[in-house]
Structure 1
Amino acid sequence: MHYFEYFDQKSVEEIHAATLQVLETVGVDFTYAPALKVLARAGCRVEGERVYFPPSLVEACATKAPAEFTLHARDPGKNVVIGGDTVAFIPCYGPPFVTDLDRGRRESVLEDYINFVKMSYASLAMDITGGMMAEPNDIPHARRNAEMMYASMRYSDKPFMGGAIGEQAARETIEMAALVFGGKAALAERPPFISILCSRTPLGYDDRMLGAIMAYAEAGMPQLISSLSIAGATSPVTLEGTLVVQNAEVLAGITLTQLVREGAPVVFAGSSSAAAMRFGTLSIGAPEMAVNTAATAQMARFYGIPSRGGGALTDAKIPDSQAAMESMMSQLMATLSGVNFVLHSAGILESYMMASYEKFVIDDEICGMCKRIKRGEEISAEKLALEVIRQVGPGGEYLTRMHTFQNFRKEFYAPIMEERENFANWRKKGGLTLEQRANRKWKEILAAYEEPALPGETDKALRRYIDTL
């Protein structure tokens, strides 16, 4: 399919030129001594913690990042290609609270995280098991990342997202994955996970993120180099100015990864949006977020690097009409603009603060619809259907034709919560709202879940590892 593009080529080149100027003359703060040493050796001017990037170095490093790479699942049939014309949907990430219609809003625990792993595994639309889909607040910090990684590898055989809360979490993720996937050398050849590492906007990176970036790059592990700039708060109020700040942060991080390990897989990850100016808070349901998503996809294509943006994002507090409106806007924009890696594709509420069981299922439906749109069409004799049109002629019907029976399953998207009956039948079945049907559906998914069990010795090795933390 052809992609929607927000800017023309001249504008993209102007944004790139402005970004290089910022990197060269304003610089980016790096608060991690090992990163400063790597950048200084490569020719960057370093003054204290401020790094000034030569444009030629930035452009050279961008060309070294691969345009496409594969995440290798425990089940090879679920491998995921990142880049090119592909799109991958990944569920919610980071919320410390969860909600459902039965229990309401509450702090999330490990059981919630495991439930979202199982729901991601069962989903036909989610390609990758999420990262911190629901923070396990009942687990001590020292073991929290390891327990999430264990759950991701035990309860799903899809690729997953690695720890992103510092160098220690990165090394835990690498070591645990090595126990399952054949050692560290095998990981570099066939990476099973990807992680997200974020800038400290505006124009900075802290030591925790930099330690993780370097650890993952050294190991050859894919990572999202991400910026979340807030227009009017942590970046200029203009979307173009915000895009320049975001661009500078992402390119600075990508430059570091390529200096640590040339060819390390990265994703150009933009998630910037606007401030809700009346409240001074981040708004992820704003149309400006969708604009940034389209622009991020364009800039990533300009550099020849896979992109991340969008998601089923909303500022709504419950899975209501606002949530549906904002989520479809953002998810569809990511799909149509050619984003390769769509994080937060299912479950997010309350501006990243809460994950909803019901919204997870509703968003999964949205993702199925978006994948149907993304699939596109191919002109062929079967598709043009001239023969059946001739047979039916004016005033006929197609419902009973063999052409219909042979093609409808692959032509039409089949909803996971179909509600297309007439009013009388809907009332007879209880007249349930979408949220109520989603409540019933997530319970059915968990009740029907069957574990893709790890080999016994592998499971024991993972548990022994966690016990040492």
Structure 2
Amino acid sequence: MTDTMTRRAGGRSARRAARAAALPDHLRPVRPGLSGGTYQPLSQAAMERIHQAALDALEEIGLSEAPASGIAAMERIGAKLGDDGRIRFPRALVEDVLAAANREITLCGREARHDLTLGGHRVHYGTAGAAVHMVDVATRSYRDSTLQDLHDAARIVDTLDNIHFLQRPMVARDILDNREMDLNTIYACVSGTTKHIGTSFTEPSFVPDALDMLHLMAGGEDAWRARPFVSNSNCFVVPPMKFATESCEVMEACIRGGMPVLLLSAGQAGATAPASIAGAIVQACAECLAGLVYVHAISPGHPAIFGTWPFVSDLRTGAMSGGSGEQALLTAGCAQMHKFYDLPGGAAAGIADAKLPDMQAGWEQACSNVMAGLSGLNMVYEAAGMHASLLGFCHESLILGDDLIGQALRCVRGIEVTEDNISLDVMKSVCLGGPGHYLGSEQTLGLMQTDYIYPALGDRTSPKEWVEKGKPDLVAGATARKEQILSAPAAARLPADIDTAIRDKFTIHLA
């Protein structure tokens, strides 16, 4: 009897050890690039109608305030500059550009294992935004965000399996010089994570210096151009239907430098975009189609993400409501239009109007993240950490968001139906002379890791166990995890010789 118990205990220990071992990526229950697209709030007829309305808007209304360089480039390929200063886009021109556009692009990480292939219904979640405050969960207060906060966010993202990329989520408000802020933003992000990074530039004249820094980080200009691991998040329009002149010049400089661009149209329904959800999607599509023509006119085939990012207003006050159900619908509808055009695309989800990581934040972040994933959105921006409708960022919420997004990704993966997992043979073996339950079956043990995902911080204990464990608090657990991550050396830190070369050439504010 003792031998039998020893053998059984050894078997359990072996199974526990096997479960604790990291699975190969292709066997993990969730992973970057899972295919969504099962949720479709727009019918085919509705998408056709939105597309035709967007073409009408481009042909009849056009966009104003393009820089002279952009006007010249777009006129060369068939856009028309009117006497009113608005540049208009004939339908045939837009259709030709759509036909020639990339159906798939790769956003590189500093390490190739973090490369993201955009296209189809492949889903990736990450951060974004330009929060000006940090949420301090200990004091339940807001303070100005700093460069160190940004670097810490990058370091945290580097450790989280379900956050696939880092787009700058906050502004380093402790750096007053805009050039130094832009350059230090890149340094803080790149030295914090080897995942793909998105950033913005205040002025076009800052782009060459940023490229010089990136060449040093990459090991030369050729190495950078072969694998650009930073993209430009570019608000190239000021809705409604107006080019942002200086941002367009930034975009041109980034294109010349080999940097992928996110064409970001961020109208606010009821304020700078039509209040109707369909109308907001029409305007966002029209603006991003104009951006696609612009990129094509500068450099055909340059990697560009179709970034329809319309936001929602609370029409009682006019304030932004990123955590609303309408926002979730708007983002899902935009994702469908990306697939209608067969373009790599991105939009915003996961934003909380809640000021702290509480129950309100949970339902707001979960609703839009799940719907974005199910709709097959390639790049789900602002998916974790963002509070107060983009005004505040929270490290603890970023960590909790990793758990939340893991569950969202499991929904995206859906239900596979095969001869094996129909499970008829397993049912027979359990019910006909078997133990009458599936707890110890080979199938159950085999699927524990490959088909089921478990929260790192979420609590699934019984009330009795919860009490015995000291009634653990979710946010306190996230704070402890944050401190653990930040107490270790940054895994993504740059090699010493490269770091020294960068510091010799640029004013770097991080110690």
The bucket for the TM-score relative to the shorter chain is over 0.9
- Deviation at residue 388 of structure 1 after TM alignment: 2.3
1:104-253 to structure 2, matched below 5 A, reads 104-131=141-168, 133-140=169-176, 141-198=178-235, 199-253=237-291
1:448–1:418 distance in 2 versus 1, CA, 3 Å: farther
1:389 to 422, 427, 444: 427
Contact 2:152–2:192 (8 Å) recurs in 1: no
Contact 2:396–2:479 (8 Å) recurs in 1: yes
- Deviation at residue 247 of structure 1 after TM alignment: 1.2
Matched, 1:323 2:358: no
Contact 1:92–1:355 (8 Å) recurs in 2: no
> Counterpart in 1 of 2:473?
433
Moved more, 374-383 or 425-434: 374-383
User: Which amino acid is the alignment partner of residue 346 of structure 2?
Assistant: R
User: Which amino acid is the alignment partner of residue 256 of structure 1?
Assistant: Y
Moved more, 242-251 or 338-347: 242-251
Contact 1:310–1:333 (8 Å) recurs in 2: no
Moved more, 121-130 or 436-445: 436-445
Contact 2:267–2:284 (8 Å) recurs in 1: yes
**Matches of 2:392 and 2:209 in 1, distance apart?**
26
1:319–1:393 distance in 2 versus 1, CA, 3 Å: same
1:77–1:407 distance in 2 versus 1, CA, 3 Å: same
**Matches of 2:507 and 2:397 in 1, distance apart?**
35
- Deviation at residue 2 of structure 1 after TM alignment: 4.6
Deviations 1:195-229 (A, max 9, x none): 21122010012222101221222233221111112
**Matches of 2:405 and 2:248 in 1, distance apart?**
33
> Counterpart in 2 of 1:35?
70
Secondary structure of 2:122's counterpart equals: coil
User: Which amino acid is the alignment partner of residue 96 of structure 1?
Assistant: V
Secondary structure of 2:238's counterpart equals: coil
1:306-321 to structure 2, matched below 5 A, reads 306-321=344-359
What are the ranges of 5 or more consecutive residues in structure 2 without an aligned counterpart?
1-35
- Deviation at residue 76 of structure 1 after TM alignment: 1.6
**Matches of 2:200 and 2:265 in 1, distance apart?**
17
Contact 1:70–1:81 (8 Å) recurs in 2: yes
- Deviation at residue 298 of structure 1 after TM alignment: 1.4
1:337–1:27 distance in 2 versus 1, CA, 3 Å: same
- Deviation at residue 169 of structure 1 after TM alignment: 4.2
**Normalized against structure 2, the TM-score is what?**
0.87
**Matches of 1:74 and 1:393 in 2, distance apart?**
52
**Matches of 2:485 and 2:508 in 1, distance apart?**
34
1:268 to 294, 306, 327: 306
**Matches of 1:338 and 1:172 in 2, distance apart?**
36
User: Which amino acid is the alignment partner of residue 91 of structure 1?
Assistant: T
Moved more, 228-237 or 251-260: 228-237
2:101 to 51, 56, 65: 65
User: Which amino acid is the alignment partner of residue 23 of structure 1?
Assistant: L
Matched, 1:87 2:123: yes
> Counterpart in 1 of 2:342?
304
Secondary structure of 2:292's counterpart equals: helix
**Matches of 1:433 and 1:215 in 2, distance apart?**
48
- Deviation at residue 339 of structure 1 after TM alignment: 0.2
- Deviation at residue 448 of structure 1 after TM alignment: 4.1
**Matches of 1:171 and 1:289 in 2, distance apart?**
37
- Deviation at residue 413 of structure 1 after TM alignment: 0.3
**Matches of 1:467 and 1:51 in 2, distance apart?**
41
Contact 1:270–1:292 (8 Å) recurs in 2: no
1:236–1:150 distance in 2 versus 1, CA, 3 Å: same
Deviations 1:324-354 (A, max 9, x none): 1111111011100010001101100001010
> Counterpart in 1 of 2:42?
7
Moved more, 38-47 or 351-360: 38-47
1:228–1:452 distance in 2 versus 1, CA, 3 Å: closer
1:400 to 407, 416, 440: 440
User: Which amino acid is the alignment partner of residue 338 of structure 1?
Assistant: G
**Matches of 1:60 and 1:185 in 2, distance apart?**
31
Deviations 1:80-105 (A, max 9, x none): 21222321111142101001222431
2:79 to 44, 57, 74: 44
Deviations 1:265-308 (A, max 9, x none): 11111221322122122211122211111111111112121111
Secondary structure of 1:129's counterpart equals: strand
1:254-265 to structure 2, matched below 5 A, reads 254-265=292-303
User: Which amino acid is the alignment partner of residue 99 of structure 1?
Assistant: V
Contact 1:362–1:438 (8 Å) recurs in 2: yes
Deviations 1:233-282 (A, max 9, x none): 11222222221111111111111001100001111112213221221222
> Counterpart in 1 of 2:137?
101
**Matches of 1:229 and 1:176 in 2, distance apart?**
32
User: Which amino acid is the alignment partner of residue 433 of structure 1?
Assistant: D
Contact 1:45–1:51 (8 Å) recurs in 2: yes
- Deviation at residue 11 of structure 1 after TM alignment: 1.5
Contact 1:220–1:261 (8 Å) recurs in 2: no
User: Which amino acid is the alignment partner of residue 427 of structure 1?
Assistant: V
User: Which amino acid is the alignment partner of residue 496 of structure 2?
Assistant: G
Matched, 1:21 2:61: no
Deviations 1:123-165 (A, max 9, x none): 101111222x221111232201111111222221112113343
1:2–1:23 distance in 2 versus 1, CA, 3 Å: closer
**Matches of 1:238 and 1:72 in 2, distance apart?**
36
Contact 1:149–1:163 (8 Å) recurs in 2: no
- Deviation at residue 166 of structure 1 after TM alignment: 3.3
**Matches of 1:33 and 1:12 in 2, distance apart?**
33
Contact 1:163–1:173 (8 Å) recurs in 2: no
Contact 2:311–2:327 (8 Å) recurs in 1: yes
**Normalized against structure 1, the TM-score is what?**
0.94
Secondary structure of 2:389's counterpart equals: coil
Contact 2:198–2:230 (8 Å) recurs in 1: yes
- Report the count of equivalent residues: 468
Contact 2:40–2:333 (8 Å) recurs in 1: yes
Deviations 1:17-55 (A, max 9, x none): 111111111110134221122122222221364111111
1:166–1:291 distance in 2 versus 1, CA, 3 Å: farther
> Counterpart in 1 of 2:484?
444
User: Which amino acid is the alignment partner of residue 65 of structure 2?
Assistant: F
Secondary structure of 1:225's counterpart equals: strand
What are the ranges of 5 or more consecutive residues in structure 1 without an aligned counterpart?
none
Secondary structure of 2:129's counterpart equals: coil
